[in-house]
Structure 1
Amino acid sequence: MAPNTGGDDDKYKPQDAVSTALTMGALFGSGGLFLAAVKTSLEKKHVGPWAVFTKHGNIAATFAAVGTVYEFSRVASANLREKNDHYNNAIAGALGGAVLGLRAGRIPAILGYGALMSVTSAVFEYTGGRIQGTGRDPNVDEYERKEMLRKRYRRPVEETIAEIGEGRSIRLPGYEERRRKRLKEAYGFEVKPVCADPDRA
């Protein structure tokens, strides 16, 4: 999502911070539970099925706490500021990273994780909030966009054949005649075309 400057044309609509935080906490908690299950399955000694919760349950709890705090602080910050921009992600990243640093139990770790997550999430949101780059223009028709890309990168077939040659399923009209001529010049005998299709024989 591109940063919203919150101008007069774009009236900010408040969001429900609690429900979005609980949803994100459940999502992150599920991911943490999956990682805990993977870690339990890689144990060298035999552990019971409840070791996911008893031995490695802190992973799922940490993930759920980070997701909940991050999303709640992001939405609450946007509601208070009435703007939906990258500063909300910076605030949320600082608090979410601090929760992640609580596992270490030291102030430098809390501040370091908070600063790292704050900068990362703010820069990610500022640059468009998408891994695959900026979003496509909704005013451009998808068919026309793809046709433009095809024309931009299309090469003439003559240029392709000049580089790689005919054969290997690349056949222009008159290919069989040219092939027979090359074989006659190279080996001195003429190849008579035979159709292997019994319906056309």
Structure 2
Amino acid sequence: MAGDHDTYHSKDAIKAAISSSAALGGAGFFIAAVHNALQKQNVGAMSVFTRSGGIIAVMAIGGGAYGFTKSAMANLREKDDPWNTATAGFIAGSILGMTTRRMPVVLGLGAAFGAWQGVFEVTGGRLRGWNTAEVEEADFEGKIAQRAAKRRPIEETIAELGEGRGIRPPGYEERRRERLKEKYGVEINPVKATVE
């Protein structure tokens, strides 16, 4: 229905911030753990937090800011479109750039992440660039076409392919015997499997 897509449903910005912060914080922890494991000197397990804790913090804060900004901007504008994602990407990229303490890097990373996220959203939020509604509709139509192709009456299949090659309709053996007798002059008697 076309009318269902026009109404906007508000989103919980705090919930989005917490969930995206936890997800990217976990990814930051993984990156910090790999960074810790690749150190040449033995630094211990706690150095994931003491040495590489900044990676975890920046990714968690950036993820939380991304989730909050995307939902809050959508709620304020009452639209769910790529501008929300681009703005959230700008904020998250700027937070990532703040670790360098240089304003051109902050603005450059913000613009790069914003453009990347905006384009990603415009192309459908997938790497292949299609809309999920179109995919589901095309997939449904494809399944209907497959069912129509697979469920055909045996008479239609025999008429199209012919007999033989594993296709044995009723009366096939008698017709085969007659064809062989006409063509080669050989009469084939069926072999009985039971002993009399």
TM over 0.5: yes
Count of residues in Structure 1 that have an aligned counterpart in Structure 2: 147
For 2:80 and 2:14, the matched residues in 1 are separated by: 17
Structure 2 CA distance for partners of 1:115 and 1:49, relative to 1, 3 Å = same
Mapping of residues 1-201 of structure 1, within 5 Å? 10-134=6-130, 135=132, 136-138=135-137, 140-141=140-141, 143-144=143-144
Per-residue deviation at 1:48?
1.0
For residue 144 of structure 1, report the CA deviation from its aligned partner. 3.1
- Alignment partners' CA distance in 1, 2:51 and 2:82: 37
Where 2:45 maps in the other structure, the secondary structure is coil
Q: Which has the higher helix share?
A: 2
Cα distance in 2 for partners of 1:59, 1:9 equals 39
State the one-letter code of the partner of 1:62: V
What is the CA–CA distance in structure 2 between the aligned matches of 1:112 and 1:147, rounded to whole Å? 53
Q: Which fold has the larger relative contact order, with Cα–Cα distance below 8 Å and residues 6 or more apart in sequence?
A: 1
Could you tell which deviates more after superposition, 132-141 or 69-78?
A: 132-141
Residue identity in the other structure for 2:106: I
CA 1:9–1:61 in structure 2 vs 1: closer, same or farther (change >3 Å)? Answer: closer
- TM-score scaled by length of structure 1: 0.67
Aligned partners of 2:121, 2:21: CA distance in 1, in Å? 20
- In the TM superposition, residue 10 of structure 1 has moved relative to its aligned partner by 1.7
Q: Secondary structure at the match of 2:137?
A: coil
What percent of counterpart residues are identical?
Answer: 40
Structure 2: distance between partners of 1:142 and 1:9: 25
1:71-126 deviation digits (Å, cap 9, x = unpaired)? 10000000000000000011111111110100000000100000000100001101
TM-score of the superposed pair, with normalisation by structure 2: 0.68
What RMSD, in angstroms, separates the aligned Cα atoms of the two structures?
2.6
| Partners of 2:91 and 2:16 in 1: CA distance | 16
What amino acid is the match of 2:82? H
Stretches of structure 1 that go unaligned for 5 or more consecutive residues are 1-6, 149-172, 174-201
1:27 alignment partner AA: A
What do residues 17-71 of structure 1 show as CA deviations (whole Å, max 9, x unaligned)?
0011111000000000001000000000011110000000111111101100011
- Report the alpha carbon displacement of residue 146 of structure 1 after superposing the two structures with TM: 5.7
- Report deviation, 1:147: 6.9
